Amino acid sequence: MSESILITRNVPIRYTVDVCVTGAGPGGIAAAVVAARQGAKVLLLDAHTMPGGMSTAGRVPVLMPCSDGVNFLPDGFGREVIERFTAVSNAYGFDNSGIFLNAEQLKRIYEDLLTGAGVELLYYSRLAAVNVENGTIRQTVYASQSGLFAVAAKVFIDGTGDGTVAAWAGAPFEMTPLDEIMPATLCSLWAGFDWQAYRAGGAFSHNDDKMPELLAAAFKDGSLSTEDHHHTGIFRNSNLAAGGNITHAFGVDGTDERSLTRGLVEGRRLLREYENFYRKNIPGFSDAEIVDSGSLLGVRESRRITGDYTLNNEDFKSRRDFADEIGRYNFPADIHPPRPTRAQVEEHKKLFRSTACGHGESYGIPYRIMLPCNVSNLLTCGRCVSTDRYVHASLRVIPGCWITGQAAGMAAAMAADSERTPREINVQQLRANLRKIGAFFH
């Protein structure tokens, strides 16, 4: 065992609120806004410097589809974000199925929504400890610019993506072994390209026939040093800029800063190679350059916090309805291959195609997947809710995180208001309240 030290110190309880949300990604933001609009006193804290998590700091370039062809699935909070986004928009939609994200616009919209709802917002505040007594969280502690401080709340919400609050509070979790875990991607911002020339030249992602050939040549001549056949692509996200969701860092542990640091360094090394590759090979990119990369590494998979129910592949395949359903979603299982081989890319494509939902189809999302075992006053939302690997690979995308975030916020406000735990609230009342704000479910 490594050496350790014992530190005992007084930590001021600087805030006492109804609902404390840690993590301002799409899930945490939806939760905070919805809870505050119900009249709860809400504090939202984030280790980083902006709202949006992966969708802004991580520079994820595209919003995945929101519709099943009939219904708008992340209705309520998700509709509001998209309406605001398209109103200011140089947001370029494609095939009616997704929207290219401009991170700066998204940050402004999220901050407007948060401040408009009366959420107290704190950046530069990283979770440092969770104080639990008999399965109830008393306070969460943050390391901030001004030192350590604690937050007492009736209900806590884990929006960290990695389930850090829940895991540190003693909730069980699952995590795929690192040799099988989805790779991370350092997303990138590109400028100086000619979009018309690019479009005229064809499309260039792993789904198109031109890219495999170009990649194979670059692997052979060594200009791309990692033989990674899974090339997701570059997407236009304004008149002037494009977002890259390219390169993979394999075996990254999103719960360990040493592994994350290696992933970031590897991501930037690979992006340099791909900048040259695009300039040399891709129409419209001869003068392009990468002007920024994500300030957070794009971690697709880490902890899945075990809740009162684990939503699984069978539920997905049967498009199951639930009595405690709080939303529905339909994105296919997008499990990025854990190794960069051609065979794994083919397997990925097969799984993606085979899990695509038909017109008007979706699977139900039960409330219980947000109630972590062993902890009474905590809800999870976003990427870390209780699912198996397949459902995780669907529900982890931004619209899915809005859906669980919205429900977590409503449930937390109801629990705080009635002095109950989230497990004790009336779930049919929760569903009725969610319907009032526009949520879609059966």
Ligand X SMILES: Cc1cc2nc3c(=O)[nH]c(=O)nc-3n(C[C@H](O)[C@H](O)[C@H](O)COP(=O)(O)OP(=O)(O)OC[C@H]3O[C@@H](n4cnc5c(N)ncnc54)[C@H](O)[C@@H]3O)c2cc1C
| CB distance 126 to 24 below 8 Å | no
Least distance to ligand X, CB of residue 428, Å: 27
Q: Which of 146, 149, 111 is nearest to 127 (CA)?
A: 149
At residue 17, the 3 state secondary structure works out as strand
- What is residue 101's DSSP assignment? -
User: Who contacts 345 (Cβ-Cβ below 8 Å, separation ≥6)?
Assistant: 206, 229, 230, 337
List 60, 157, 211, 246, residue binding ligand X (CB under 6 A): 60
The contacts of residue 220 (CB under 8 Å, 6+ apart) are none
Judged by DSSP in three states, 307 sits in strand
Stretch that binds ligand X, among 154-162, 198-206, 264-272, 424-432 (CB under 6 A): 154-162
Residue 187 as a binder of ligand X (CB under 6 A): the answer is yes
396 binds ligand X (CB under 6 A): yes
Check residue 171 for interaction with ligand X (CB under 6 A).
no
394 lines the binding site for ligand X (CB under 6 A): no
Interaction of residue 372 with ligand X, rule CB under 6 A: no
Residues 6+ apart with CB under 8 A from 256: none
327 binds ligand X (CB under 6 A): no
Q: How far is the CB of 356 from ligand X (least distance, A)?
A: 16
46 binds ligand X (CB under 6 A): yes
Site map (CB under 6 A) of ligand X, residues 328-357, x = contact: ------------------------------
Q: Under the criterion CB under 6 A, does residue 406 sit at the interface with ligand X?
A: no
CB of 338 vs ligand X, minimal distance in Å:
14
CB 420, min distance to ligand X, A: 25
Size, binding site for ligand X by CB under 6 A: 38
Nearer to ligand X by Cβ, of 166 and 398: the residue is: 398
**Which member of 55, 362, 376, 421 binds ligand X (CB under 6 A)?**
55
Report the residue from 164, 394, 421, 433 that binds ligand X according to the rule CB under 6 A. Answer: 164
The least distance separating ligand X from the CB of residue 217, rounded to whole angstroms, comes to: 26
- Nearest approach, Cβ of 100 to ligand X (angstroms)? 9
Tokens read off for 203? 């499309």
Torsion of CA 199, 61, 81, 156, to 10 degrees: 170
Please give the residues from 283 up to 302 whose contact with ligand X meets the rule CB under 6 A. 298-300
The reply on whether position 392 binds ligand X by CB under 6 A is: no
Task: Say how far apart CA 188 and CA 234 lie, in whole Å.
Answer: 9
Of 125, 158, 62, 85, nearest to 412 by C-alpha is 158
23 lies in the site for ligand X, by CB under 6 A: yes
Q: Is 126 in the site for ligand X (CB under 6 A)?
A: yes
Q: Name the helix (H) or strand (E) containing 158.
A: strand 147-158
Written as one letter, the residue type at 402 is W
Long-range residue pairs from 141-150, CB within 8 A, at least 24 positions apart, any chain: 141/11, 142/45, 148/9, 148/11, 149/11, 149/12, 149/13, 149/14, 149/15, 150/11, 150/12, 150/13, 150/14
User: Which residues here bind ligand X, judged by CB under 6 A?
Assistant: 22-28, 45-48, 53-55, 58, 60, 62-64, 126-127, 159-162, 164, 185, 187, 245, 298-300, 382-383, 396-398, 401
